Amino acid sequence: MANQTASYVLVALCLLVLAAKGAEARQPRLVPAMYVFGDSTVDVGNNNFLRSSSVARANFPHYGVDFPSSAPTGRFSNGFNTADLLAQLLGFQMSPPAFLSLRGSTMRSRMYKGINFASAGSGLADNTGHLLFGEVIPMSLQLDYFAAVVEHMTRVSGSRKTASLLSRSIFFISTGSNDMIEYSVSRGNDTEFLRGLVATYKRYVTALYTMGARKFSVISIPPLGCLPSQRLRRLKQMGTQGCYDPLNDLSLRSYPMLAAMLQQLAYELPGMTYSLGDAFSMVSFVFANPRTNAWSFTVLEAACCGGGPFGAAYACNQTAPLCLDREDHLFWDANHPTQAVSGIAAQTLFAGNRTFVNPINVRQLALL
């Protein structure tokens, strides 16, 4: 029975990806706007506008080598990231732009269609990322920026129209990984850390709800221990190859706690609905099935862009070795997926079944 179930999931996911790749006509927009919050997995260039010279940026080659312009944009990818590709599946021609890139009339025209507030290196805690990068935009400040946008919309359109638009829009959140990686360097009480992380997450979701959000698409923390950077960490610390298990254990434990929190919030907050993507299961599934009719990954451990063991010892930049076929690689750099993997993630979030997305997928969420 277990083998039959696994086979069914494999066939279903392959058909999903093939159908998305084969779709030629762009569908109508399913929601009026999409607002994005989180870290480098969904940042589309906000960090390019920060003042600090040590900030986490991806505004140089080889980043963006497969982007339509073949130029770096601030995305930590060879091309599009998951937020971009999910926006396309929702019917948007372009992903929501970086908040810090908008000024004046551009802000007024974009705020009704969606904005991206995400910042590479950031986390749920205000201090996450500061030691490594000097300046990031934590979730608290991302929500402050969004509050200013809501205030502007309300002044222009009135509270009723603003509330109506926000209640029908998608709020996409991908965060928590940087908090977890930093915590793992000097671990304390794991249960206490995870409870605190989820409690902070709850506070921010509640704050967005208070400002008018009703439809939340949340993606959980993936198996961070299998990142090239963490494989290198295990090699240095233990002298053995493989995923860094202590970090994977934390990632795995966080999912049911996040799921329970969202379920409880949906019960407490009238009109709140959500779709939770299980990133740990998604990535683990691709690891277990690297070659299917829909994709073929031949390099599962090393980064496409970078040098040294696992492509993680030397940073991805214009002088780093670059793989020729990005479609073969699971990882783009030491910490981020390739566009190919982001595409699988977006398609699964959008139309996947309850093996990976609960209690509904993003398409169902948008149509509510």
Active site residues: 40, 333, 336
* Helical pair 339-351 and 82-89, crossing angle rounded to 10 deg: 40
Q: What are phi and psi of 322, to 5 degrees?
A: -130, 130
Q: What share of the chain is helix, strand, coil (3-state, %, to 5)?
A: 50, 10, 40
Contacts of 367 (CB under 8 A, 6+ apart): 30
Do the beta carbons of residue 288 and residue 3 sit within 8 Å? no
- Phi/psi zone of residue 38: left (φ > 0), alpha (ψ -120 to 50 degrees), beta? left
* Helical pair 339-351 and 279-288, crossing angle rounded to 10 deg: 120
Q: Which of 286, 290, 261, 291 is nearest to 276 (CA)?
A: 261
